[in-house]
Amino acid sequence: MNKVAQQQRTIGIIGGMSWESTQTYYQLINQGVKRELGGLHSADLLIHSLDFAPIEALQSQNDWEAMAGILVESGLRLKRAGAQGQLIATNTMHKVAHEVQAATDLPLIHIAEATAKAIQEKGLTKVALLGTNFTMTEDFYKQRLVEAGLSVIVPEELARNEVHRIIYEELCQGKFTETARQRYVEIIEQLAEQGAQGVILGCTEIGLLIKQSDSPIPVFDTTAIHAKAAVEFLLTDANLG
């Protein structure tokens, strides 16, 4: 990473899904730039924070075409504002990442690819995945991990439904209870017993509830991993594409 460069590229963040985790992105990316450049440096970034309620309603209706349209327009707005690269600050909405990247023709930092790289660097081969039901059960996310040579396991159906419910009914609404934390810990422990060497917190809100100290196996917080990749993009010319 070029620590002497005073200029950064500009990155656009499609956020608001939920804003609870988008604020963490803002904090972590700025902290990362300051750590690399020092002094009064902060990140050169743009954020378009979407209203999550209409998107959640479309998720319930399984209308991914409409959601793709919303995120494409967001990405185009960020491009018109000067973004040179982009990220979608949510795991689930990476289901429409291809449409966003194709429409904007900007480099897109994919959260699953960044996470797979972080897991590979730790030398792990079998990981558990927690997230929304969309993320845990559909191929748009898991396939990126499999293509990186990882074996992926998810909770059984009742536990998956509970993980999903807590995300939408609690975490995305700023509710972080000890009951929810304990339930997630139990599920992680069960997955560890099934051979998981690490666990992906595959929803950007889960990292607000679960920390490494809660887990018997290594935790991969996708928000932190994604934010780190954003800092690398801002400061490293090699990421220009």
Q: Residue 4: inside a domain, yes or no?
A: no
Domain that holds residue 138: 112-222
| Residue 239 pLDDT | 38
203 is catalytic: yes
Place of tokens 């795991």: 91
145 and 217 co-located in one domain: yes
pLDDT band at 7 (very low <50, low <70, confident <90, very high): confident
**Same domain assignment for residues 149 and 66:** no
Please tell me which residue in 172, 203, 204, 223 is annotated as part of the active site: 203
In one-letter notation, the amino acid at residue 120 is Q
Instruction: Identify whether 3 is part of a domain.
Output: no
- Which among 99, 55, 191 has a CA at the least distance from the CA of 136? 191
Question: Is 172 one of the catalytic residues?
Answer: no
Q: Are 141 and 93 in contact (CB under 8 A)?
A: no
Q: What is the pLDDT of residue 1?
A: 45
In the beta sheet, which residues pair with residue 128? 153, 199
For residue 147, the domain's CATH number is 3.40.50.1860
Say yes or no: 30 and 123 in one domain.
Answer: no
Residue 1 is assigned to a structural domain of this protein: no
* DSSP-derived pairing of the beta strands 219-221 and 151-153: unpaired
Q: What percent of the chain has pLDDT over 70?
A: 96
pLDDT in tens, 184-239: 999 999 999 999 999 999 999 999 999 999 999 999 999 999 999 999 999 987 33
Residue 18: asked if its preceding bond is cis (omega within 30°), the reply is yes
The 10s digit of each residue's pLDDT in 60-82 is: 999 999 999 999 999 999 999 99
* Same domain assignment for residues 41 and 58: yes
Candidates 22, 24, 90, 204; catalytic one: 90
pTM of the model: 0.93
pLDDT at position 240: 38
Does a structural domain hold residue 144?
A: yes
**Tokens 């200029």 correspond to what residue?**
7
User: Does residue 167 sit within a domain?
Assistant: yes
Domain presence at residue 21: yes
Residues 6+ apart with CB under 8 A from 143: none
Are both 20 and 94 inside the same structural domain? yes
Domain count, the chain: 2
